[in-house]
Chain A
C-alpha cells in the first residue's frame, strides 16, 4: 500500500474514532477527556515537506472541528504541533540515516526513548494549547493545570495502548529494491 493511500485511510480512521467513539464516552470527570486524534500528525511520514505538514494538520484539525465543538478549536493546536514536529525530529535524529531508512516515526525507527520523548512532548504541547484556548474563555488556574495534566495522562495511555495494539511494521528501506 502506498504511503499516500495509507495516510488517507488513517486520516478518515482517526477522525471517525475520535468523533464517534472517544467523544461518545460518558465523561468520568470534567478533566478526563480521551483524546487520540493528533496521533495522525505524529505518524505522518518523515519526507513530507514542512508546508505540506502544516496544511495537512490544519485541514485535519478543521475536519474534526466540524464533527465536534466550535470550528478552530482543534485546528490551532494541530497547526502548533505540526510546526514543532520537524524541529523536534531534528533534535531526536542526529544521524541523517534514520530519516532515509525508515518511512515514519515509530518505536522501531526512533527507538524507545527518543520516540517516548517525541510523543510526550508533542502530546503535552497539544493539550497545553488546546486547554489554553478553552481557558481563555472559561478561566480558573486549577482548571487549566488540572485539565492539562489529566488529558495528557489519558492521551499518553491511549497512545501507548494504540502502539501496542496496532504494531506498525517499520520497513527498513535499502537501495536494493
Chain B
C-alpha cells in the first residue's frame, strides 16, 4: 500500500494530466446528455451576461441592417393579414386571433417568441447561437428557431434567462427540407466550408431542377412547414448514389443576425407520444 502512495506521489503530475484530459473528453462526449443538468444553468448565465454586454455595443453597428430586416418582414406579414384580402362576398369574415382555439375550431399549432441574439459564431465547425430568452420565458429544448429571412437552428440548452441554439451552420445539424417546386424532400446539413451555403441531400435525379429554386422546410420537420431556407445555387450528382447534392444559398444572413423567433409547437408532444406508441413488429 505504501508503495502505491509513493508511486502516485512520484507521478502525481502525470496522473493529474490524465485526470484533467479525461474530464475534458468526458465533458466533450457527454455534452448532449448530462451537460445540461451539470453546467447549463450557471455557466450559461455567466457567459450569457458577458455576451449581452458585448452585443449591446455591437448592436449599434448593426441597427441599420436589423431595422431593414424587421421592416421587410413586417411588410411581408402585413401582406398576409386577413384584412389585406377582400373578397366580393363580404358576408363572411375570417379572423384568426391569438387564442389557442378560435371560433372556427381551429387549433393553434405554433407560437412565435421573439428573442435577441446575444452571441453568434460562424467561424467554427460547430457553431452555436445564444439567445436572450430562457426557461423563465417559456423556452424548452428542441424548439425550432427561425430568423426574419429564414430558419436559424434549434434550441439545445436552456438556462433561466438564456438559451443556446445549435445553428444551421453546425456539422451536427440536420433539417428536413423540400424543394418548393415538386415537393421533393431531402435532408439539409452543412459541410463546414462556407457559412453562406448549406447542402441538401437526397433529391432524386429525376427531379427537374433549376438554379434559384426555393428550398423550404418540409412538413416532416419540427419547423413550421414552408419556411424559407434558401435558394439552389449549384447542383451536382453524387456518383455513388442516385441523388443530387445541392448547394443551397442560405436566405438567413448569419453574419448580421440580430433577432430570431423561437417557435413553440403546441402539438409536438402529442405527435411524439403517438409516434413512440407505434408497435415494433407490425
Chain A residues near B (Cβ < 8 Å)? 20, 23-27, 30, 33, 50-51, 54-55, 58, 61-62, 66-73, 75-76, 79-80, 82-83, 133-134, 137-138
Contact = CB atoms under 8 A, between A and B. Distances in A.
A23 B123 contact: yes
Contacts of A66: 39, 43-44, 46-47
Contacts of A23: 121, 123-124
B195 interface: yes
The secondary-structure label for the interface of chain A is: helix
Contacts of B26: 72
29 contacts: A20-B54, A23-B123, A23-B124, A26-B123, A26-B195, A27-B123, A30-B192, A30-B194, A50-B13, A51-B12, A54-B16, A55-B20, A62-B24, A62-B27, A66-B39, A66-B43, A67-B47, A67-B50, A67-B51, A68-B128, A69-B121, A70-B126, A72-B28, A73-B28, A75-B24, A76-B24, A79-B20, A138-B171, A138-B192
Interface of B: 12-14, 16-17, 20-21, 23-29, 31, 35, 39, 43-44, 46-47, 50-51, 54, 119, 121-126, 128, 171, 192-195, 255
A54 B20 contact: yes
Nearest to A78: B24
A79 B128 CA distance: 24
A69 B170 CA distance: 10
B24 A58 contact: yes
Contacts of A25: 123
A5 B46 CA distance: 22
Given A70-B28, A75-B24, A76-B28, A33 B124 contact: yes
A151 B16 CA distance: 28
A80 B43 contact: no
User: Which of A33, A61, A79 is most buried by chain B, counting CB atoms within 10 A of its CB?
Assistant: A79
